[in-house]
Each structure stands twice: as C-alpha cells, then as structure tokens.
Amino acid sequence: MDTDFFPEFIRACPAPDSPFAMRAHIVPSEHVLPMFYEIDEDVHIPEHVHGPQWGVVLDGIMEFTIDGMSRQYTRGDTYYVPDGVPHTAHIHAGYKGIDVFSDPLRYRPVAP
C-alpha cells in the first residue's frame, strides 16, 4: 500500500536493508542515520542492542521495552535508547515514525 504521508522528497530517499515489513526511507550521512517509516501490519521486533537511538511517534501506537521497562508510545511521544541497552518493540499497524540512529551504517541503502 503506497501512501503520501511523507512528502515526495523523503519518499525519493533510499529504502533501508531492514528485515522488517515497513515502508521506510533513510537519509545516509557520515554522522547519523535518520529513518522515516510506516508500518502497515503489526510488527514485533525481538530483543536486540545497538548504538544510541532517538525517535518520535508521528501516528499510531508502539509498545517499547527498553532495559526491561515497558511503555506505550503514541502520537507526539519521543523515546531514547542508550548505547548497548537491550530493547524490543511491538509496533501496531498504521504506525508512522522517525528514528535517528547514532550509527550511520545501521542500515544500508537498498538499490532501487
């Protein structure tokens, strides 16, 4: 399903090499990796760790467990995952968000 939630110039950015079902666009840089994404069906992301991550919920619901503490995030909420802290997420269908990863190579662009 293609939507126009994000403007065309963001949708023109490359997709990430993510194993999760989502429409996503990354903005590769040498400093950080911003990712704009939409989830059409529920997605469960198993526990994992990586460098720091900051995000904001633009629409929808995400249940996020960070270092054993669970919380539901909705429109306008921001979250932060510190470096190396275990976390898991259940992202509900209809979710839209922006994540910024400190590791600029967290996801690689997928060739069109």
- In percent, how much of the chain has pLDDT > 70? 96
pLDDT of residue 36: 98
What is the tens place of the pLDDT at every residue in 3-53? 679 999 999 999 999 988 899 999 999 999 999 999 999 999 999 999 999
Q: For the sheet containing 87-91, what is the strand order?
A: 43-48, 87-91, 61-66, 69-74
Above 70 in pLDDT, residue 106?
yes
Q: Give the closest residue to 73 by CA, choosing from 87, 57, 54, 94.
A: 57
The pTM of this model reads 0.93
pLDDT of residue 4: 78
Q: Give the closest residue to 110 by CA, choosing from 22, 40, 48, 45.
A: 22
At the fourth CATH level, the homologous superfamily of domain 23-101 is Jelly Rolls (2.60.120.10)
Where are the chain's structural domains?
23-101
Q: Give the closest residue to 81 by CA, choosing from 106, 63, 101.
A: 101
